[in-house]
Amino acid sequence: MPSRPQATTGETLVVCRNVRHRYRGGVEALRGVSLDVRAGEVVALVGPNGSGKSTLMSILSTRLRPESESNQTGTVAVAGACPWTDAPTVRRALAVVFQHPAVDDKLTAAENLRCHARLYGASRALVRVCVEAGLRDAGLTDRANDRVEEFSGGMRRRLEIAKAAMTAPRVLLLDEPDAGLDPGALRAVWDQVTALRAERGVAVLLATHRMELASRCDRVAVLHAGELKAFGTPGELRAMVPGGVVRVEVDGEESAAVAERITSLRDQWPGGAEPRVAGEGVVVYDDRPADLAQGIHGMLGDSVSRISFGRATLEDVFFALTAATLDGDAP
């Protein structure tokens, strides 16, 4: 198994500069994306389906070489190497946990880790050490001899991350590690990921649809239609929606009508965005949310079930930047 010194905190291990990719058929998946991930940092990549997240992950993991009509595809470096000109070096520095499980259901947890260690050429003595450490890090020591087919989704995900960590990666790519996990399982996975970055200085880039997970990351990159709409800390992104947010809860069939009525107040309270229907309610971003909430209440009265206001969340920022849903394409 590879043995590498811990990366220097702050060392940039993933660099993307003006990355472009156009698929055959003309679909432009990435349009000049620039971002970076430092050692000991967790960066979230968020965006609706079709935003370019999977394409960027494929490029970083050496599975895809970017192409464009002008051949100006930008530059990418993972641990100092280019994924398409020096793929072996990148793969030695990289570990990837895919969205769909890559563990063998018919093997036990220990057997999955043991096979992985042997594939990487570990000696019998080192295999034992790696398996014990992997089970401990995944919180599965007491389930070591149970078949993976008996595991929950969260347990499988923790086992996959433990398997990836056995190769001592400098960079870890996680493709929707939260998929199908309940809050408790998600917390356990998050604790495992943050331990890797804190103890080993691993640079982590994860793609997710859950703003709850993104809000825990050090920085967040928002992709939409192949473009990077924002990149910064959760606090910096929330500051992009000034003032705050007013939420009006109504019956689903009345939401559009309520949004139209709220629009008539915009002359009195300028400085925000147009109301949008969100589920069974209406959301408005405004510089003076308290005043706007009071005006909406005065106009609508008992026709709404609840009016609230507060600071913008990351999900609010996402909607404001992309006008898209997290689990679907932009309208």
State the DSSP string of 202-229: -EEEEEES-HHHHTTSSEEEEEETTEEE
Lowest mean pLDDT among 66-75, 78-87, 98-107, 248-257: 248-257
Question: Which pLDDT band, with edges at 50, 70 and 90, does 160 fall under?
Answer: very high
The predicted structure's pLDDT at residue 301? 78
The predicted structure's pLDDT at residue 254? 79
Q: Using a pLDDT cut of 90, give the percent of the chain over it.
A: 60
The mean of the pLDDT values for the chain is 88
Which of the listed ranges 9-13, 114-118, 273-277 does the model predict with the highest average pLDDT?
Answer: 114-118
- ∠ CA 158-160-166, nearest 5°, is 105
Q: Using a pLDDT cut of 70, give the percent of the chain over it.
A: 91
Q: Rounded mean pLDDT of 46-63?
A: 94
**Residue 138's closest CA among 170, 164, 117, 105?**
164
Q: Rounded mean pLDDT of 266-294?
A: 77
The predicted structure's pLDDT at residue 4? 52
Q: Report how far apart, in Å, the C-alpha atoms of 56 and of each of 18, 91, 110, 207 are.
A: 12, 16, 33, 10
pLDDT at 15 over 90: yes
Question: Which pLDDT band, with edges at 50, 70 and 90, does 272 fall under?
Answer: low
Question: Which pLDDT band, with edges at 50, 70 and 90, does 328 fall under?
Answer: very low
- Residue 264, classed as helix, strand or coil, is coil
pLDDT at 201 over 90: yes
pLDDT at 329 over 50: no
Q: Rounded mean pLDDT of 250-269?
A: 75
pLDDT at 265 over 80: no
The predicted structure's pLDDT at residue 331? 32
The predicted structure's pLDDT at residue 77? 98
- Residue 141 CB coordination number (10 Å): 13
Query: Residue 152: in which H helix or E strand, if any?
Result: none
pLDDT at 165 over 50: yes
Question: Which pLDDT band, with edges at 50, 70 and 90, does 241 fall under?
Answer: confident
The predicted structure's pLDDT at residue 274? 75
User: Which of left, alpha, beta for 276 (phi over 0: left; psi -120 to 50: alpha)?
Assistant: beta
**Residue 157's closest CA among 184, 122, 181?**
181
- E strands, the chain, where? 12-22, 28-38, 42-46, 75-78, 94-97, 171-175, 203-208, 219-224, 227-232, 244-249, 276-277, 281-286, 306-310
Whole-prediction pTM:
0.86
pLDDT at 3 over 80: no
The predicted structure's pLDDT at residue 100? 82
The predicted structure's pLDDT at residue 330? 39
* DSSP label at residue 3: -
* Rounded CA separation 153/188 (Å): 12
C-beta separation of 285 from 267 below 8 A? no
Q: Which strands make up the sheet holding 306-310, listed edge to edge?
A: 276-277, 281-286, 244-249, 306-310
The predicted structure's pLDDT at residue 90? 97
- For residue 232 the two structure tokens come to 């910064």
Q: Rounded mean pLDDT of 10-25?
A: 94
Per residue in 122-147, pLDDT (tens digit) is 898 999 999 999 999 999 999 999 99
* Rounded CA separation 59/90 (Å): 11
pLDDT at 321 over 90: no
Q: Which domains does the chain have, with CATH numbers?
A: 12-237 (3.40.50.300), 242-311 (3.30.70.100)
Residues constituting the chain: 331
The predicted structure's pLDDT at residue 284? 86
